Amino acid sequence: MSCHSLVSPRIHHTRLQLSQRMSNNNGAKGGGFQAAIPSNSATMSFPTPSGLEKKLVSPHTPRANIAADAEHPDGTTARDWASTHKNMTVLEQHVVFFNPKRDGVIWPLDTMKGHLKLGFNFFFAFLAMMVIHSGLSWWTQDGWMPDPFFRIYSKNIHRAKHGSDTGVYDSEGRFVPSAFESLFCKFDKDKKGGLSFREGLRMLRQNRNVADPFGWAAAVFEWGTVWLLLAPSDHVITKEQLRTIYDGSLFYEIEYEHSNKNKKLSKDQNNVKYD
């Protein structure tokens, strides 16, 4: 996979030629389009993926139950994640970690406990519980009446999708591979296979919708939470980490690592001998 780009480091007069790059559509009609326009700085600065069809069948078609990208066309196959969760949308899979009973009802305490299992401190876990359930609970109800317990119903979690997001989830909670790949064409400028914190902030700014303060705040909170969760030592969140956050499988990996770390620490403390 490559990215449509308008920048040629060698020859400047090739910019127009690059902007008029045609897709290889095997004879289908409508191939005479441009991915970018030299006179438009937005299309120049944020290229789109090209050649995805060579690695992924119908990359623009949303996947209902797998988070597929160019490197993982069948989604997360480790530990049979995709097959085990085939009856859930990708957005439902994203929140299933916070529903330990698997009954489709996420209580505020479930969310708080889930964040604690991921290694967050009590203050942040409590804050996350308040922010998530106060902001999303009502949208996931079957009726118009708000839930006095602020529960979230995962079958309706797609209704809680906010604006100013990446578009990787569609309005029904499916995963859009081309939108996911676009994140890295647009914002991973040095092609390192991930996003730095600064690049993530640029992504948030670029994705803002007009007059959408709730969406802006939600996007900032989510990116900040992801950064705190992973705390990458090289200051880069990898493409694979982001993909498995989208389908929720990474939460179980982090819980396992955090649990083992605590067990090791407890064991080491028990072996301490005091004179």
How does DSSP assign 37-88, residue by residue? -TT-HHHHHS--EE-GGGTSSSTTSPBSS----SS-TT---GGGHHHHTTTS
Show me where the domains of the chain are located. 1-50, 58-270
Spatial distance between the Cα atoms of 261 and 123, rounded to a whole number of angstroms = 21
Where b means 16+ CB within 10 Å and e means fewer, 84-100 reads: ebeebbbbbbbbbbbbe
Which of 115, 106, 114 is closest to 152 using CA atoms? 106
Spatial distance between the Cα atoms of 52 and 133, rounded to a whole number of angstroms = 37
DSSP 153: E
Q: State the pLDDT at residue 71.
A: 97
Q: State the pLDDT at residue 107.
A: 98
Opening angle at CA 49, ends 48 and 54, nearest 5: 160
Spatial distance between the Cα atoms of 7 and 46, rounded to a whole number of angstroms = 11
Tokens (6 digits) for 167:
């578009």
Q: State the pLDDT at residue 9.
A: 42
| Regions of the chain with pLDDT less than 70 | 5-27, 265-275
Q: State the pLDDT at residue 79.
A: 95
3-state secondary structure of 8: coil
129: enclosing H helix or E strand: helix 122-136
Q: State the pLDDT at residue 17.
A: 44
Q: State the pLDDT at residue 25.
A: 53
Contact between 170 and 212 under an 8 Å Cβ cutoff? The reply is no
